[in-house]
Structure 1
């Protein structure tokens, strides 16, 4: 996810979006429900008294009935809402819910409901690979096949003047950074943001492996590596890990970097540092490409942008995690990752205050003026992998150790370290216990918010930021960790409530995931999945999640036109121009994958205690 100037969309401002049927008054997950979890529907209705409801099966027989619970006015949606609890429906079948004169679409109750979604959410990462052709036999449909973008990417450092008039000296080397994942709707590749997405995939593998479950075992996916003897989830993660490793600066190299935190007054002052072991923040275009542009048609200069401490620590954390995951599967690759992690952590300690600047056109800033959470995360991963006292001491000395947990995002990664400390066997009991307590407390806080939310989701604020769907899905991931730590059903039910919202239980009656649900995402902000602008190009493949409603950063013309006119959960449009509302990104699809996979596994079966 990245911020873009308005000039990007100037040439497509007359594009129109496809007409869609009006939303229904009965809102529920458009895929249906698992037999053994919460099953809730929300009804938008002005009645201040309960409404009668019935559920009928395919034969027309009434199998459940009751009255709605009046929740009342909901500021986040602008609706007056009622809750329908369908928890008694456990028999696998197809049903319809009737409330007053309104009848819902058919919905299923069945096991294995989320397995196809998890598979598609993982396959998204294949579709967004750089440096390789997306072949018809793996794409799922010839429409999504494309030639390789940036097939041999040997990039120099940015040199010259940025958009603020600051002159950068560049460097005297080039790096082969072929591969990796395109970050979002453009062609940038970022170590910051790639880091959290990669961590989420690797953590999902660790979670499933601990339960003896391998839903993406070799051959179950559809990627070029299928059949190589390695879990397809790990194969996909390794594609990005290799890119992050390639972004590490060789020993002995020098770099010129600014002094001071982002936003410091006056012209920046530069100093030259020993940059060996640090990571470049990104490789990206010199200027923004237009919509639409296939990756192979990107003719912009591809440049390495300056190293940062945050990028270096993202590399240290994910490479340490990589070393742990691959230790018995591919010991040589594991050793490569661990060596890179140690070099990166040492480089970050040597240069702890090298920050990103949001001053380059053609790519996102991902600026972060506080990297204490990144230091904690990296130390936690190295501790969990090596057990070494130095890293354990760094964890214990961090202000993030046992601190309250917030849902992670690319700029707030403390929770990632806490999850690792709470769930990895190599961590001492004295370090794991406070991490577990903090995660369970955070999950309880999210459930408390759910009780205050009209649409009953674990998110009660009226501020819906850029990528709000990922905020909600990352909260669901914390709930999933708490469920695994405690066995309590309420946390899994909270995960269900979060994914219900993403899949249609929202005031727009919108499934924010392409290819899933009655009203799926169709027009994401993306340069190749751009059928809205060019009939020769495809729409998105299945399993791609939109960033979702955004009431806080009205950056594009579609969003700006809504400002002040929409309730927070309604500030969204299925329009390729709406990059502040409808972009897609690797760090948003990663928690969708994690949650969809976690909901279906045998390890997800819980004690039904509240």
Structure 2
């Protein structure tokens, strides 16, 4: 018997009077000379080294039907029934290296409804000596399975986690969308909408820019107080920004193609029961603060500081805080609001024509202000791209030629293709409206060029998804801040290309990236809280979204964390981990009290919107066919 070890951070935080502690999880691997015999039970003992009172032994049965092996990697929730799907076999055992599963030649899939074998197939080598996982990776083709609930069994090894084909995608969509509700600023969290409790937050601010109740601020006598509500907390911190609206744009894009599927009451939010689809109600929450606090000249505030880092940085730079903590307007705040408010207005109009008109009027004013007030001396990052996006959405909603001409000019000037690199992953959101419009007066050459951009980006994602041993759209590159977790960030261009063309390869790539996010990855874990069999245990989220004290216990379901980080595609050295070098796609620090934000945090912009949109789309395809866009005659 050979014994190996892997050690990683398990939890960090304060323990009594002792701050900033880290607890480590030590995993020991026993490499046996032959498989365990199912006819016997086995006792494993640690004979020395454990303190009194700790468990020193356990008994296990070698039962392939009952032992769940994390080495059998599946989408732990729900595969799309309309796309390719795979399971994988492989494991990295710390200082023992890659586990040899070459003796495993065949797998069986069992239907959990009747207990019968539903599929039998070969276990095929996918990648020997895979540097990204540290494994010898094998694959199992699950594509022949029909909708149902299943698990895999491999003789001499065990069974996989249970998984669905087709069913379960609606629940994924609901859980992902409800993250927006739990991130609402100014919303009381209470039953019947949620079992997580929090009073309405950040609602009152002093004229000096501090929240009422901030112990570090002494207000002036009779200092004015104003109340605010609306928008979303950015992440674990609580500031609100207009750039969250691109996440709302993604969910609205899916709604526009499936307008009858998403209904009132499905998300269990305070607005449920008002006769308006909950998805639209959630989009309204994202937008109304910016509409209601638009300045007379059309400028739109960037957001609310809520005593968080952005506001403190502003104070250090300007020597004071903006009045009431409302972040000053910017060109991109105006155009992002204009784009999403125009998109929302055309979708909301059948339900509330009068209020939809107020959003469209505010979008017009914001766009006009942005045109007249370019940022000087240097434009903001993405300024020209966002102006083109706003013009495109206003054109789709109104059909008016001035907006159409602005899109033409923006495209001719290269604004849709030349932008700051930080906008590269989100640029397809901004290409989409004009590429998909059916307006008769749209410029066919510009529309085709934007369609071609989308399809080219999606083709690259299809190609990159197939490159790694565990299929995922970042290809064989380094990354972080969400780029190595699969999911909607990688799938979004493929979803848009599938909407444009209907080609199966785009749906396959989108679904494979969902599978990676949901457990078909080297870690055999999901990157969404509360979802699947093994999910983030210590995400960096607001403490009120944990059930226990000091960020312990159950968390809100549906929050997509950033996942693994490896700046370069090479082994990573992580604090206190053993062995000293960890394969790059296993380099995920699941700790929630700071120091690992790049792995364990999230944002509305970077993870929440694209996750909700991905599972909304996959759920929709299990149910109905997409409609033509409403942005035309």
User: Normalising to structure 1: TM-score of the pair?
Assistant: 0.77
Give ranges in structure 1 of 5+ residues lacking alignment: 1-7, 159-171, 252-275, 290-299, 357-366
| Secondary structure at 2:258 match in 1 | helix
What SS does the aligned partner of 2:481 have? Answer: coil
Match of 2:453 in 1: 438
Aligned equivalent of 2:437: 424
Secondary structure at the aligned position of 1:14 is classed as strand
Name which of 178, 181, 184 aligns with 2:229. Answer: 178
Matched, 1:333 2:348: no
2:198 alignment partner in structure 1? 146
Structure 1 residues 279-358: aligned runs within 5 Å = 279-288=300-309, 303-353=325-375
Counterpart CA distance in 2 for 1:247 and 1:355 is 26
1:385-424 equivalence runs, <5 A: 385-399=397-411, 413-424=426-437
2:264 maps to which residue? 218
Deviation at 1:476, TM superposition (A): 0.8
Q: Which residue of 2 aligns with 1:67?
A: 123
Out of 600, 616, 623, the residue aligned to residue 582 of structure 1 is: 600
Quick one: which of 362, 386, 401 aligns to 1:374?
A: 386
Question: Are 1:28 and 2:74 matched, yes or no?
Answer: yes
Unaligned 5+ segments in structure 2 are 1-12, 30-68, 92-97, 211-222, 311-321, 627-633
Between 177-186 and 19-28, report the one with greater CA deviation.
Answer: 19-28
Structure 1's 593 and 489: CA in aligned 2 closer, same or farther, altered over 3 A?
same
* Partners of 1:407 and 1:474 within 8 A in 2: no
Give the structure 2 partner of residue 463 of structure 1: 478
Contact 1:278 1:307 in 2 (8 A): yes
Q: Is the contact between residue 382 and residue 420 of structure 2 (CA under 8 Å) also seen in structure 1?
A: no
Q: 1:388 to 1:75 in 2, by over 3 A?
A: farther
Q: Cα RMSD between the aligned structures? A: 3.7
CA shift in 2, pair 1:76/1:346, >3 Å:
farther
Check the 8 A contact 1:64/1:89 in 2, yes or no.
Answer: no
Correspondence for 1:14: 21
- CA 309–562 in structure 1, closer or farther in 2 if over 3 Å, else same: farther
Which has the higher mean CA deviation after the structures are superposed, 16-25 or 345-354? 16-25
1:151-166 equivalences under 5 Å are 151-153=203-205
Work out whether residues 186 and 228 of structure 2, in 8 Å CA contact, stay in contact via their aligned partners in 1.
no
State the Cα deviation string for residues 217-271 of structure 1 (Å, max 9, x = none): 11222111111110011111101110222443x23xxxxxxxxxxxxxxxxxxxx
Give the distance between the partners of 2:472 and 2:306, measured in 1 at CA. Answer: 38
Q: Secondary structure at the match of 2:305?
A: strand
1:88–1:40: structure 2 CA closer, same or farther, 3 Å change rule? same
Instruction: Give the drift of 1:71.
Output: 2.2
* Counterpart pick for 1:126 among 181, 196, 204: 181
- Structure 1 position 89 matched with structure 2 position 89: no
Is residue 131–residue 152 contact of structure 1 (8 Å, CA) maintained in 2? no
Query: Is contact 1:30-1:504 (8 Å) kept?
Result: yes
1:503 aligned to 2:518? yes
Contact 2:342 2:393 in 1 (8 A): yes
1-structure distance, mates of 2:393, 2:224? 30
Once the two structures are superposed, residues 355-394 of structure 1 have per-residue CA deviations (whole angstroms, 9 ceiling, x without a partner) of: 99xxxxxxxxxx9534221112111111111212222122
Q: How many residues align?
A: 529
Segment drifting more, 60-69 vs 226-235:
60-69
Corresponding residue to 1:105 among 134, 141, 160 = 160
Q: How far apart are the structure 2 equivalents of 1:599 and 1:341?
A: 31
Shift in alpha-carbon separation, 1:512–1:277, aligned structure 2, 3 A: same
Q: Distance in 2 between matches of 1:406 and 1:520?
A: 36
String of CA shifts for 1:483-524, please: whole Å, max 9, x gaps: 122222221111111111111111111111112111012321
> Is contact 2:78-2:169 (8 Å) kept?
no
* Contact 1:50–1:70 (CA under 8 A) maintained in structure 2: no
Alpha-carbon offset, residue 332 of structure 1: 1.8
Q: 1:198 aligns with which of 219, 244, 248?
A: 248
Counterparts in 2 of 1:179 and 1:20: CA distance versus 1, 3 Å: farther
